[in-house]
Amino acid sequence: MAPRRSPRVLAVPAATPLIRRAAFRRAVEVIPGRVRIKTTASQRRRTTTTARRRRAIQSAANQPPAEDPPVTNRRGINSRGTNRRRTNRLPVQDTAPIVTLLQNPDRQRGTGSQAEFGTKLGLRRLRIELARMTSNPTDGCTVELVDDCIYDWKAVILGPLGTPYEGGHFKLRLHFPQLYPARPPFLMFLTEVYHCNIRNGAICVDILYSAWSPALTVEKILLSIRSLLSDPNPENPMNGAAAELYKTDRAEYDYMARQWTRRFAQPE
């Protein structure tokens, strides 16, 4: 008798992970009392948005950091507008560009290519302001160009009536930077003035520094400086001796201001 052969067992290949996952889901669905949770479209969008944000953060972390703009600490002024001594002293405008310009005048600047010294917007703005102040002069203020250069102006302010500066003709020099009107002009007195907020031509006024706005014009700047002659600010002095005299002896202060006006600010 021939030996009985055992039935041949065929090897069944293992199911793939996807097939096993589908089979598991079908088995779970047939369980009684099982509640199937469906994902809504809003939940899918929220999940996609979160994933996109996570990828964006990871991508930004791999990018090199952007360079911060240089921080200039002028005379120890901090971000709160006060100096290191915690006083509310306003910073003084740097007049070095004008001093350099007066010492080394360039006669060809007015005839060269204006694109090298400013943008088209700045040129248009300066020409409009010059035309307005020439055709309709501001009360107590006059302006003119220096060597026909639109970026260099001379101005004359008349001393306000009823003040120690009455009768004086105070000359100023204005130099407009390349980024005007986004940046304020450099301005200094060419005439000697005895004043709390003026010394050696430099002016301590906020509109030329921290309070500058592109909406300000040359006309408004000159009117503000003329108003400063009438109403000094001894609490934020540029000339400490004059400010102390203003507080202690106003009559003597007015006498000194009147003498300086007669000596240095007489019309030619």
Per domain, the residue ranges of the chain are 118-265
State the fold for domain 118-265. Ubiquitin Conjugating Enzyme (3.10.110)
pLDDT score recorded for residue 254: 95
Mean pLDDT of 159-169: 94
pLDDT score recorded for residue 195: 95
Inform me whether the pLDDT recorded for 93 exceeds 80.
no
pLDDT score recorded for residue 230: 92
pLDDT band of residue 83 (cuts 50, 70, 90) is: very low
Mean pLDDT of 229-241: 91
Mean pLDDT of 47-73: 51
pLDDT band of residue 243 (cuts 50, 70, 90) is: very high
Inform me whether the pLDDT recorded for 115 exceeds 50.
no
Inform me whether the pLDDT recorded for 61 exceeds 50.
no
Mean pLDDT of 244-256: 95
pLDDT score recorded for residue 113: 44
Identify the residue with better confidence: 112 or 260: 260
Mean pLDDT of 158-167: 94
pLDDT score recorded for residue 100: 52
pLDDT band of residue 112 (cuts 50, 70, 90) is: very low
Q: Tens of pLDDT along 139-156?
A: 899 999 999 999 999 999
CA dist., res. 188 & res. 205, Å (int) = 11
Identify the residue with better confidence: 103 or 246: 246
Lowest average pLDDT, out of 52-56, 119-123, 250-254, goes to 52-56
pLDDT score recorded for residue 120: 82
Q: List the catalytic residues.
A: 204
